[in-house]
Chains A and B, each alone.
Chain A
Amino acid sequence: MNGITQSTALWYASRATGVVSLLLLTAVVLLGVLVNRQGRLPGLPRFVVTGLHRNLSLLGVAFVAIHVLTAVLDPYVTIRIVAIVVPLTSSYKPLWLGLGAISLDLVLALILTSLARARMSRRLWRSLHWLSYAAWVSALVHSLTSSTDLHSGVLLYLAIACSLAVVAAVIWRVAHAGREIPRAERAAATLAMMSPGSVPRSRGTPRDGARGRDPENVR
């Protein structure tokens, strides 16, 4: 290979691994929603859903690593190594590449916090994990803007499919969160399910003879 074909090879490798990274990240987000909703992949045990969610995220990072390294090594465009993780430090398309860096930063943070899950507060881990949506959106915008690959042909349909899938998953997730019964009302909800109409809907009128609750009421 001469210099030009080497460069082209690296550039193609970067673009190709970029597409795969986006697909993997989309799959990870969808699987994450599936875990939360206690869903399953048809015919497969539940631990496959969590296992895939975890392993595909690691695979995705591997592909992103190749994606950024080939981009840095490619002499056709100058991209500094630091731009991989620090946004806006690239001289080539600083904003759009910057979104890629943001996405990578977020994904690394998500993976590291998940590895250390047992050592942090449940609430903190959950709040941080919501950033996965930000990571996916950054990755999508980065993909659409850093090259024109996703603007036509098969890759355009792929991008649309990924977007629709994530939107549908988010709607599913949010709809459930809205319907989730708060703890204190769960027993009442179960009771209503057993015998509808028997659970008090308002602060009750005293229908039971609860006498003598006031300690002062002594004879």
Chain B
Amino acid sequence: MKEELRVDPTICSGHGLCAELLPELVTLDEWGYPIVTRGAVPRSLERHVRRAVTDCPALALKLLPVS
């Protein structure tokens, strides 16, 4: 993919689904907020990434062009 996964921290309220659905790219810090790996999303994870983006209850995850 030519996009990377980003989290909008002003919307994120720490639900933590993203870390469950996408442990390859997301871990939670000690306060429950996601640490997202930067960089283009690997092809193999594309489906899981899209699911994480759709399933976030706060819609805080975004797929953006790699900066």
A and B touch in the complex (CB under 8 A): yes
A122 to B57, CA, bound (A): 11
Q: Which residues of chain B have C-beta atoms less than 8 A from A51's C-beta? A: 55
Which residues of chain B have C-beta atoms less than 8 A from A89's C-beta?
none
Closest to A183 in B: B10
**Contact partners of B59 in chain A: CB under 8 A:** 117-118, 122
The answer on a CB contact under 8 Å between B11 and A46 is no
**Interface residue total, chain B, C-beta cutoff 8 A:** 12
B20 and A38 form a contact (CB under 8 A): no
Chain A CB within 8 A of B2 CB: no
Residues B20 and A47 in contact, CB atoms below 8 Å apart: yes
User: When the two chains form the complex, which single residue of A38, A117, A118, A122 contacts B15, counting CB atoms closer than 8 Å?
Assistant: A38
Contact residues of A between 21 and 55, Cβ < 8 Å to B: 35-36, 38, 45-47, 50-51
Query: What is the total number of residues of chain A having a CB less than 8 Å from a CB of chain B?
Result: 11
Q: Give Cα A50 to B21, complex, Å.
A: 12
Q: Which residues of B contact A38 (CB under 8 A)?
A: 13-16
Beyond the given A38-B13, A45-B20, A47-B21, please list 11 additional residue pairs across the A-B interface where CB-CB is below 8 A. A35-B57, A38-B15, A46-B15, A46-B20, A47-B20, A47-B55, A50-B57, A117-B59, A118-B54, A118-B59, A122-B11
A interface vs B, CB < 8 Å? 35-36, 38, 45-47, 50-51, 117-118, 122
Would you mind naming 7 contact pairs between A and B with Cβ atoms under 8 Å apart?
A36-B57, A38-B13, A38-B14, A38-B16, A45-B20, A118-B54, A122-B11
